[in-house]
Chain A
Amino acid sequence: MDFTFTKKEEKFRTELRTWLEENLPEGWLEGKRDLPEDIEEYSRVLRDWQNKLYEGGWAAIAWPKEYGGRDASLMEEIIYHQEMVRVKAPPLINYIGIHMVGPTLIDMGTDEQKEKYLKKILTGEEIWCQGYSEPNAGSDLTAIKTRAVKDGDRWLINGQKVWTSFGHVADKCFLLTRTSNHPEKKHRGITVFLIDMDQPGVETLPIVQMDGHKEFNEVYLTDAEATDADIVGQLDSGWHVLIALMLHERTGIGAELFTLEQQFNDTVKMSQQYKINGRPLIQDPMIRQKMAGFYARIRGSLLNYYRNLTTTLKNGRPGPESSIDKLVVSELNKELSSFAVEIQGHHGVLWDQDAPADSKWQSLFLASFGQTIGGGTSEVQRNTIGERVLGLPKDMGR
């Protein structure tokens, strides 16, 4: 057992830390972290940040050097996340491009696709979204109805996508379509296309989320166009592409865990400020017990993540146990933010400008409901763990 970082890793940390201190937006480190309300402005600021990361060589550290990355090790990625969380760095608007689409293209894209897209992902010139879910296909993506039909030398795509995160700011979409029917094996006959979001056949309508934000969208596809050159991997084998893409998300949960840990430390500070019967909340035995409970769970989840990471480092690939991490982090996040609002008592319901300190907790509380749904619901995660880790019988219908 050894929790130390190597000299090389420490050097990497210092290098990144120094760069961040010099390059974060003006006033950011001191706590001035307001991002524009207006979506155009917001997107511009974050694209600029993405570009700055690119110029500093920090846009996609896990990518191979030849494509503009740093060939970073898993440990370096962990350090990267830790440092980004430490300075509360601006959100990564091209998350999907950097962590999912890019690596997948490097892995299975054509030379032409790599040439065309990779650099623009890094610079933030092209933002990506993922078009998987549909009104009748969420947990079960084999039920997608969006169809791509060959028409001469182009493909015409018709259908509707939903819950498309970043769809409103995205330039490109990693789109799941049906290209042939296999009633018995429904995961066959699915094809991934890389399509333009700003073409006439694509209409994006924002959906108002329960937290008032509009970060995901409906996307209507009416004779949207693509060509053979836009297919990722083989025709009809989009399912493999999808699975490959998911495996590329090597350390994302780690980033969420570090954030969770930081948020927990913030709740500690808050419970030292808020008073109950004239005494700081943190002195209340019930609160203390709950805090101890969260401490144990958050430390435990983080340690468990490290243990799974160690297995990954040793085996060269993540084991099925790592599916535990996503379930744990999203459920824990939901409970912690709920607790953070709860301990504010009547102040807890105040919102926006009237929220006591800032409305961070209220926002986190509301946003947390998305985390146990997006990226696969907790129920679906439990199925995966039950079947792949514990060897329990398969769920109905499969």
Chain B
Amino acid sequence: MDFSLTEDQEMFRGHIRKMLDTFGGTQVAREMIENKPENLKKLYHTLAELGCMAINIPEEYGGLDLESLDLVPTYEELGRSLVPGLFMETNALAVPILKKYGTDAQKQNYLSAVAAGETHISFAALEPFHDFSPQGIQCTLQQKDGQYVLNGTKILVPEAELAEAFLLLVRTSGDQEDGLALVLIDKTDELSITKQASFDEAKHVAKLDFTDYTITEEQIVGEADKGWANLQEGLLYFNAALSSYMVGAMESVVSMAADYANIREQFGQKIGRFQAIKHSIVDMKVHLEIARSLSYYANWVADTDEADREAAVYSARTYTTEKFIEASAQNIQIHGGIGFTEEIDCHLYVKRARYYDQYLGSTPFYQEKVVASLGW
């Protein structure tokens, strides 16, 4: 038995961390708030040079053919600095789906480009006034004169301005899960993209409007009516990745809190000596370590066919989102007045925690999946 990352994986973490430090940690996220994505783009370029995007791509498409677990250090480090972008949507959602269900042409086309760092794929599923359920998908894909036509609206599409392509979840028939399809479309000038305001301003989201937008059959990924089922498979990888990203972010929160408690003095002593503060940081730390263990396991189990695969991934997602929200909120309290300012990073983490908690399902939503997957 060995429940740890390998030395290589830890070493790789070291490289990524160093690299992100040269970009100024959360500085990249802060620049996104000011709509300056230049450094983010540079950062992604460096990530590609380091081979990050190639990790889980088969060798025949220019990848390294490694496991999800090999991506964990990268996810965690990106989370530490709250780096936005499409790394997870691309490598942890679109890539596994393409690997499992894509046609040869799609794989050749997209996997190679992803591995080379040329293509970033965003994910468009959510729609106005609907939840993340099969019934919530109303954007239609209809056959017309040998072509396919898209109609409808997608919201909360992450980082549309950085994407070269979009993975879409659309309705082909009925109102159930067997009438849904996944399609991949390239970004072109004809696409109607409108930026949406998000309170996590470091994480850009957009609205995509489709009016008789035509695509070809070759753009459908996997069997047309298996879109929902295939997406669930992809979401296992995505949620495992997301939990690692949040673990990284939480680690940053815990060390911010501990560092501050070690320097800030009140009543003639370090505030970390007050147990109300000390114990609250300890609780954050305890939750962080448990979240980390859950997320390691989730990323490991995703590549296997273990019986607890779904339960493991979804419990990692729920536990981590919940505790990330708590810890990032408590971090503000521990910082006192300065914690409430824009100047200090505390707020960035609170916003990201909330963003992810409600992205593609909530805690109760995934808790239900845990229970259902266990057959209870």
Interface, chain A (partner B; CB < 8 A): 1-5, 75, 268, 272, 282, 285, 288-289, 291-293, 295-297, 299-301, 303-304, 306-307, 309-311, 313-314, 321, 324, 327-328, 379, 382-383, 385-386, 389-396
Contacts and interface: CB of A to CB of B under 8 A. Distances in A.
Interface size class of B (residues with CB under 8 A): 35 or more
A311 B2 CA distance: 9
Interface stretch (B81-89, B91-99, B269-277): B269-277
A313 B2 CA distance: 9
Given A288-B367, A292-B315, A395-B275, A306 B258 contact: no
A372 to B, nearest CB: 13
A390 B318 contact: no
A392 B368 contact: no
Nearest to A288: B371
Contacts, number: 150
B368 A306 contact: no
B333 to A, nearest CB: 16
B279 interface: yes
B3 A306 contact: yes
A304 B289 contact: yes
Given A304-B290, A392-B262, A392-B273, A1 B281 contact: no
A266 to B, nearest CB: 13
Interface of B: 1-5, 69, 254, 258, 261-262, 269-270, 272-273, 275, 278-279, 281-283, 285-286, 289-294, 296-297, 300, 308, 311-312, 314-316, 318-319, 364, 366-368, 370-371, 374, 376
A316 B278 CA distance: 29
Contacts of A321: 289
Contact of A289 (B270, B293, B364): B364
Contacts of B281: 386, 390, 392
A289 B365 CA distance: 9
A300 B291 contact: yes
Contacts of B291: 300
A330 to B, nearest CB: 12
A385 B3 contact: no
A248 B138 CA distance: 62
A347 B220 CA distance: 56
Given A1-B296, A296-B318, A392-B262, A303 B285 contact: no
A373 B308 CA distance: 34
Contacts of A295: 311, 315, 370-371, 374
Given A295-B311, A386-B281, A396-B273, A285 B368 contact: yes
Given A285-B368, A288-B376, A291-B371, A310 B1 contact: yes
Contact of B278 (A272, A313, A382): A382
Nearest to A75: B1
B358 to A, nearest CB: 16
A268 B376 CA distance: 8
Nearest to B273: A393
A306 B272 CA distance: 29
Shortest beta-carbon contacts, A-B, top 10: A292-B367, A296-B315, A303-B293, A300-B290, A392-B272, A304-B293, A292-B370, A296-B319, A393-B273, A386-B278
A307 B69 CA distance: 15
B292 to A, nearest CB: 8
A384 to B, nearest CB: 9
Contact of A311 (B4, B261, B311, B314): B4
Given A295-B315, A295-B374, A393-B273, A1 B300 contact: yes
Contacts of B297: 299, 303
Contact of B4 (A1, A4, A379, A383): A1
Given A303-B3, A383-B278, A392-B272, 19 more contacts: A1-B2, A282-B371, A288-B371, A295-B315, A296-B294, A300-B290, A310-B3, A324-B289, A382-B275, A385-B286, A386-B278, A386-B281, A389-B282, A389-B285, A390-B254, A392-B261, A392-B270, A393-B262, A394-B273
Nearest to A299: B315
Most chain B CB inside 10 Å of its own CB: which residue of A300, A313, A314: A300
23 contacts: A1-B3, A2-B1, A4-B1, A288-B367, A289-B367, A291-B371, A291-B376, A292-B371, A295-B370, A295-B374, A296-B294, A296-B319, A297-B319, A299-B315, A303-B296, A306-B3, A307-B292, A379-B279, A382-B282, A386-B278, A389-B285, A392-B281, A395-B273
Contacts of A293: 318-319, 367
A293 B281 CA distance: 21
B293 A307 contact: yes
Nearest to A378: B279
B258 A390 contact: yes
Nearest to A328: B286
A220 B270 CA distance: 42
B308 to A, nearest CB: 8
Nearest to A302: B293
A300 B286 CA distance: 11
Contacts of B286: 324, 327-328, 385
